Amino acid sequence: MSLSKRASQLMNHPSAIVAGIIKCNNDPYDAQTNPEGFLNFGTAENTLMEDLLSKKLSSQIEIKSEHIQYSGMDVPALRETFSQFAMNHLNIEALKPENIVVQCGVSAICEALSFTLFDEGDAIMIATPYYNGFEHDFTKRFKCEFVKVDLSPTNNFQHSIEAFEQAYNQYPEPEKIKAVLICHPHNPTGEILSQEFMFSLLDFIQNKKLELISDEIYALSTHCKERHQSLYQLARERKLPAHLLYGMAKDFAIAGFKVGFFYSEDNELVEAMSSLCYFHPVASLTQLAVADLLSDEQFLHHYIELNQERLNKTKRDLIHRNDHLNFLPAEAGLFIVLDLSQWCESFEDEERYHQFILDELKINILKGRDLGLSKPGYFRVCFARPEDQIHTFSQRMQKLKRL
Amino acid sequence: MSLSKRASQLMNHPSAIVAGIIKCNNDPYDAQTNPEGFLNFGTAENTLMEDLLSKKLSSQIEIKSEHIQYSGMDVPALRETFSQFAMNHLNIEALKPENIVVQCGVSAICEALSFTLFDEGDAIMIATPYYNGFEHDFTKRFKCEFVKVDLSPTNNFQHSIEAFEQAYNQYPEPEKIKAVLICHPHNPTGEILSQEFMFSLLDFIQNKKLELISDEIYALSTHCKERHQSLYQLARERKLPAHLLYGMAKDFAIAGFKVGFFYSEDNELVEAMSSLCYFHPVASLTQLAVADLLSDEQFLHHYIELNQERLNKTKRDLIHRNDHLNFLPAEAGLFIVLDLSQWCESFEDEERYHQFILDELKINILKGRDLGLSKPGYFRVCFARPEDQIHTFSQRMQKLKRL
């Protein structure tokens, strides 16, 4: 028997990003053992905090009998801890623990949300450049569509309400648009949204009767000590239908732990999302480990500050070592956008640079076309890598000239 | 915005089983603190081994940096360990580690398999009485259908090939039947399939060009020391298209850890199932804990033997204390079928007994209609509970008379 039609369709459209990752996995750079191997600057992964995290997470967890049974599928302590954590660190007031849904990663949550909230053919507005994985999570399995909002390179792709209005007005079936998906701080530009933009976006959402999906997974990965302003919180204060996404893969760099949080005050939606937990659960053991991590205020204080310092230092180091290249300013996140637009007149040009960087320089980065961009020449560089890798990256990039 | 059509549909058909579980959760029996509370004999949960498991699982796990990154999503050691475990304990020869797929529970695996293998309208043969959760896992989200194979109460619902042939021949569109789903040892009857039946089933599958999905999650929960004979292994020896399901929730009673295994030699299917791991992953921490458990041969030897002893003792105790009631013989599993068919002429009768047992005796068990049965009067009793609960169950059941 062959695969189902839906599975065949899914398998026949693999992400363009996968090829680069496979090259990296098959022949990974290592300063000592494989200095000529591939550098992976394509995955949004923070390796700067492994020292603190490995130690913290190796602490012993006591497994009681309730944790091993079906009742263990839900560890209330984790939801209570997350509510407290969101208040203390994400600047979000009092989440109701019973409305917090924990699933095995934010991708799982996005997929469940795609199933739960959208019918086939419904549309979601999303700004480009965007995190490419959202296509997989939201559109591929359950067939809702993205309305791309093209941000403009002339102002470094900063979010603007005019771009949202234009995309809305140009969409042939605006009645199909149901929601706006925002990642804040933004992946891939690292923009921290201005308050002005956030307020005008909320007006827009209100006027058009849309819902907000606010992904704040990079809230604490800022390169400054500015306190995160939650778009979700602003929407909630205006009583707009809004839903929060957060996860442990970015600010806490434990992608391998696969823990994502969903919050909404729409009880019916929360109930539906919870019921899908049957397919997307997180092991009690992992929930206990994450609750332990998020409830340790002393650790958090030290960790968050040090992470921001290291991100900032690494970003500055990268820019400094690559002063023949243009980077867009980045205030947050694990990435920075490399601007080769002066050398790229077409996506064919972009593809040539991408291939050169991958095959000749042996560096995996993402190209703008995979970030949904309509203008060629921009690349996402994930820089949260060890010093020796930044060094090697910079040495190799010296060879990058006009092709 | 309201829920999507598919989510509304899913939410409007909650499992009939949920009501009983909610009553148990809201007012649970406790010998000391709540002796009048509800007993949950409805969930296939083994509480007899919590002493060994809590201790074993509380041991410290060293988290290295590779475990916290995206690479941590796959812990090769777990797949290698499972292959060895299957050989040593499930009587299955040499599984290729690269064809083992780990997802967050067997429900997640069934759902992914439903998505991957079946188109809408395709059908799967399944014997009744069956594990009711399969409906949720296989049919509800992706709309493939069950062809029910009615086993006969006159021989204690033992599997017979005639029943499969009859169901196949009576199905109006046999070309839509794509697979046979077998749970062996059987849930809910606890039958260990005879070799004769297994061979004739494989002939049937071969003749009709079907695939086999073999769920062997109760392989080690036998009430005797007989070594498990794997239906999957027999199918593989005949080179039939066959797929194995196994999980940690039953034989190892760690449902809260949400770890399921899928194995197939169909590489295309394995690739598709692996790609769905993006939504259904297991945290590295949990994978490491389970690898630790499954690789400890000394622990396994002691655990498996003691579990079988305790299951056998508890079952005998239950039957002995309830000698005014009829139970069907059970050779394996965490359950036994209570036969009240002499008092039930209709499903209305069955419902009356079910309500009486739930509301008056405060015991949650499953009724045959929820197990897919076409004849009323049979109930699944999950007996793997502590001694005081068996005692209380038996005291309360003394009040069960012809209504």
Which member of B117, B254, B284 has the closest CB to residue A1?
B117
Contacts A58 to B, Cβ<8 Å: 60-63
Closest CA to A36 of A354, A362, A330, A368: A362
Of A6-15, B31-40, B118-127, B337-346, the one with minimum mean pLDDT is A6-15
Query: Is B14 a residue whose pLDDT tops 70?
Result: no
| Among A142, A275, A6, CA closest to B18 | A275
pLDDT at A233: 98
Residue A224: band (very low, low, confident or very high) from pLDDT cuts 50, 70, 90: confident
Q: Region B7-34: what's the mean pLDDT?
A: 86
End-to-end Cα, chain B, rounded Å: 48
Q: Does A269 lie at the interface with B, CB-CB under 8 angstroms?
A: yes
**Residue A59 scores a pLDDT above 80:** yes
pLDDT band at B15 (very low <50, low <70, confident <90, very high): low
Q: How confident is the model at residue B164 (pLDDT cuts 50, 70, 90)?
A: very high
Cβ B244 vs Cβ B82: under 8 Å: no
Mean pLDDT of A279-291: 95
pLDDT value, residue A60:
83
Supply the ipTM of this predicted assembly: 0.94
Residue pLDDT, tens place only, A73-99: 889 999 999 999 999 999 999 999 999
Mean pLDDT of the B204-229 span: 96
* Digit-coded pLDDT (tens) for B279-297: 999 999 999 999 999 999 9
Query: Looking at chain B from residue 21 to 50, which residues have their Cβ under 8 Å from any Cβ of chain A?
Result: 25, 43, 45, 47, 50
**Chain B interface test: which of A69, A175, A268 (most B C-beta within 10 Å):** A69
Across the interface, whether the CB atoms of A72 and B256 are under 8 A apart is answered yes
| % of chain B with per-residue pLDDT over 90 | 88
Which ranges of B245-376 does DSSP label H, i.e. alpha helix?
Answer: 267-275, 284-294, 297-321, 347-355
Answer for the pair A223, A308: CB distance below 8 angstroms, yes or no: yes
**Shortest Cα–Cα distance, A55 to chain B (Å):** 7
Q: Which of A68, A271, A279 sits opposite B280 (nearest CB)?
A: A279
What number is the average pLDDT over the span B94-108? 97
> Higher model confidence: residue B226 or residue A274?
A274
Question: What does the pLDDT read at residue B120?
Answer: 93
Contacts of A3 in chain B (CB under 8 A): 116-117, 268-269, 272
Tens of pLDDT, residue by residue over A254-268, are 999 999 999 999 999
pLDDT tens for A162-184 read 999 999 999 999 999 999 999 99
Q: Tens digit of pLDDT for each residue in B177-211? A: 999 999 999 999 999 999 999 999 999 999 999 99
SS3 for B3-63 is CCHHHHHHHCCCCCHHHHHHHHHHCECECCCECCCEEECCCCCCCCCHHHHHHHHCCCCCC
Q: Give contacts of B 354-383 with A, CB under 8 A.
A: none
- How many residue contacts between A and B have a Cβ separation below 8 Å? 220
Please state, rounded to an integer, the average pLDDT across all residues of chain A.
95
Which of A4, A142, A241 has the CB atom closest to B118's CB atom? A4
Q: Which residues of chain A make contact with B267, given a CB cutoff of 8 A?
A: none
pLDDT for position B267: 96
CB contact A267 to B (< 8 Å) = no
- Provide mean pLDDT across the span A148-160: 97
B11-25, B55-69, B298-312, range with greatest mean pLDDT: B298-312
Average pLDDT over residues B8-26: 81
B261 forms bridges with which residues in the sheet? B102, B246
pLDDT at A267 (0 to 100): 96
Q: How confident is the model at residue A12 (pLDDT cuts 50, 70, 90)?
A: confident
Report residue B127's pLDDT band, with 50, 70 and 90 as the boundaries. Answer: very high
B2 touching chain A per CB within 8 A: yes
What's the pLDDT at A14?
61
Between positions 283 and 322 of A, the ones with CB within 8 A of B are: 283-286, 289
A157 pLDDT higher than 80: yes
Q: Are A251 and A185 in contact (CB under 8 A)?
A: no
DSSP B180-212: EEEESSPTTT-PPPPHHHHHHHHHHHHHTT-EE
pLDDT digit string (tens) for B343-369?
Answer: 999 999 999 999 999 999 999 999 999
Q: Say yes or no for a CB contact (<8 Å) between B281 and A258.
A: yes
pLDDT of residue A9: 85
Tell me the mean pLDDT in the region A21-45: 95
Query: What domains, with CATH codes, occur in chain A?
Result: 5-52+299-397 (3.90.1150.10), 62-296 (3.40.640.10)
Region A315-344 average pLDDT: 98
